Structure 1
Amino acid sequence: MDNWDDFRFLVALSKAGTMTAAAKMLGTNTATVSRRIDRLSETLGTPAFVKTADGWKPSEAVREIISIANTFDGELRSAMNTNSQDKTNQLVSLNVGSVPIVTSQVLFPGLRRHGDMLDGVSLTFSDRIFREGLGENDLVIMYGAPESGRVVTRRVGQLTFRLYGWKGGKPTGEWVGLAQEHDEYPPMQMAFDTFKCPPRMRVESFTALYDLMLQTKLPGPLPDTLAAQDSELVTIKTAHEPFRGEFWMMFHESRRGDPAMRKVVDWVTRSFQDVDFDRVQQSRAG
């Protein structure tokens, strides 16, 4: 592989999973990505990527090359960010991928409370649901412990979920919930066991679920942080204990020394600590 620029196309497609998304990351077009990957495959004498139902996956022939390229890319970003933080006033940009409920209920309030911790850092937030690895993100926050690999992982906090209904609401046996692919998620299982039927309507996220509950006045599962914002919501007694979902963050190990990454990691941790503190205060007030 004589052209070092080819590494960019390998890394981009391995992160994005589609030619279109890789082209967007690289600031080029889909045809160019396809052509460069085909050229790499010809050089290797074997396909560099394999098309699957979940997108393009690296073949065994390039997995180690991509791993080395990712490490180099991370170390280069760390060095550049260190230089930017030390010698210039230029903002360092990082992409944070997170499940929507964490973004809205933990990270956004964290910006209001502790935005000063992100001095010199510009963040781009994106929804991340059911995807593996970092993808195009510098840091990812996910439900449950990530699989091991060349990443740094850390448990950062938890959110508590219960079933909620409305004050004065008449039980109808109906409820609303998340989309079918979330049915195995414990808050949904709690609702299935309690109502003994599928949800009447479904949506993709807890924030959308709250809006749906507000309009239909039907019960459903919600995180305490979101339910606490509406005084008309009340908990529904069930045979289940409240579900406490653990959330983890991960980033590539080559970014350990990145000062911008350290700032974001510290800020995410602090934002989750606020959720824990608020829960204790609410418990004492109750």
Structure 2
Amino acid sequence: MDYWDDLKFLLAVNDAGTMSGAARALNTNVATVSRRIDRLSQKLEVEVLIKTPDGWIANPEVEGMIASASAFSHELKREQNRMLFSAPDTRVPVRIGAPIAFSTYMFTPYIKDLLDALPNVTVELYHRFFEEGLGDNDIVVVPWPPKRGRLITRKAGTIMVGVYGKKGGSRTGPWIGLQKENERSPQHQMAMNYFREPPTIRMDHFNSVLEGILKTGMPGPLPSFIGRSHDDLVELTPPAQMVQIQFWLCYHQTRRHDPVIDLLVEWVISSIRKSVQKSDT
């Protein structure tokens, strides 16, 4: 089978639903993804993807191939990880896809705990938020259960989001918010109820909102695990007006009983729990 390498591009688009999402997952560009999809379609003599208003979906004629390729890919990773425990010199990368604020404030502080439990792995943290499916990740942490893919889903934890401002700075608008894709999110609605006007500046993630608050003195929404970790910020919303956001942890069902995934899942949940508890004290 001379098109196996192209199949990973099809799997990535099928998971993400967009060419751009697949490109981010594979650390490449949209042109490369499109070219490889076209090449695969030519080899199979069928258009492997169909464009819809909601994004790209797989042609029903290749759904069986996608399911088989996806299962094989994850089963291969599972067996590779089993070998890891009997071959101490083997180095195996694990990819975690999560919002960048989680990687910065929840995972990085506890990364040594993971490396102590899995000394033979290398950890790769990738920023993702809106993409569906796993992409090229072993585990993803997302604010809603994915609708695509054969995934095992577990509750990862709950965070609180409120409005924060710089000490001595403004407590009212203008304010800094997230991009328009977030307008239906609980955190945006909470901020709109507080400010009663749209944001003047929009950022792509909470880490950028934090930088904006510190640099401009304008307030904005932040998770409590970020806002309460900075002494130069004040919490402007009363606890009763903050919003709770449930996050979910997902991995492919063929990775069940994968020893690396089992430890990775427990570490992710533990890191989130410790970070939330620390911000509440």
- Aligned partners of 1:191, 1:23: CA distance in 2, in Å? 34
- Aligned partners of 1:58, 1:148: CA distance in 2, in Å? 11
- Aligned partners of 2:239, 2:257: CA distance in 1, in Å? 47
- Aligned partners of 2:26, 2:189: CA distance in 1, in Å? 39
Map 1:128-277 onto structure 2 (within 5 A). 128-147=128-147, 149-237=149-237, 241-277=241-277
Task: Find out whether 1:37 has 2:41 as its counterpart.
Answer: yes
User: Structure 1 length normalisation: TM-score?
Assistant: 0.84
Deviations 1:26-82 (A, max 9, x none): xxx665653233111x1xxx4222245676431111112211221122112211221
Q: Could you say which residue in structure 1 is the equivalent of 2:108?
A: 108
- The answer to which of 172-181 and 130-139 deviates more is 172-181
The 8 Å contact of residues 175 and 201 in structure 2, kept in 1 or not, is answered as yes
**Match for 1:129: what amino acid?**
F
The 8 Å contact of residues 23 and 33 in structure 1, kept in 2 or not, is answered as no
The 8 Å contact of residues 9 and 37 in structure 1, kept in 2 or not, is answered as no
Structure 1 residues 88 and 169: CA distance shift in structure 2, 3 A? closer
**Match for 2:90: what amino acid?**
Q
Deviations 1:127-183 (A, max 9, x none): 112111111212111012333752111111122111112333344532111111111
Aligned partner of 2:6 among 3, 6, 9: 9
Structure 1 residues 170 and 94: CA distance shift in structure 2, 3 A? closer
- Aligned partners of 2:179, 2:79: CA distance in 1, in Å? 42
- Aligned partners of 1:179, 1:213: CA distance in 2, in Å? 15
Residue 250 of structure 1: SS of its match in structure 2?
strand
**Whose Rg is larger?**
1
- Aligned partners of 2:168, 2:204: CA distance in 1, in Å? 27
- Aligned partners of 1:170, 1:35: CA distance in 2, in Å? 55
- The answer to which of 258-267 and 49-58 deviates more is 49-58
The 8 Å contact of residues 161 and 222 in structure 1, kept in 2 or not, is answered as yes
Aligned length: 271
**Match for 2:139: what amino acid?**
L
Identity of aligned residues (%): 30
Gaps of 5+ in 1: none
Displacement of 1:245 in angstroms is 1.1
User: Structure 2 length normalisation: TM-score?
Assistant: 0.86
Residue 161 of structure 1: SS of its match in structure 2?
strand
Over aligned residue pairs, what C-alpha RMSD do you find? 2.6
Deviations 1:234-256 (A, max 9, x none): 11146952212111111111111
- Aligned partners of 2:27, 2:41: CA distance in 1, in Å? 15
Displacement of 1:257 in angstroms is 2.4
Q: Could you say which residue in structure 1 is the equivalent of 2:92?
A: 92
The 8 Å contact of residues 51 and 57 in structure 1, kept in 2 or not, is answered as yes
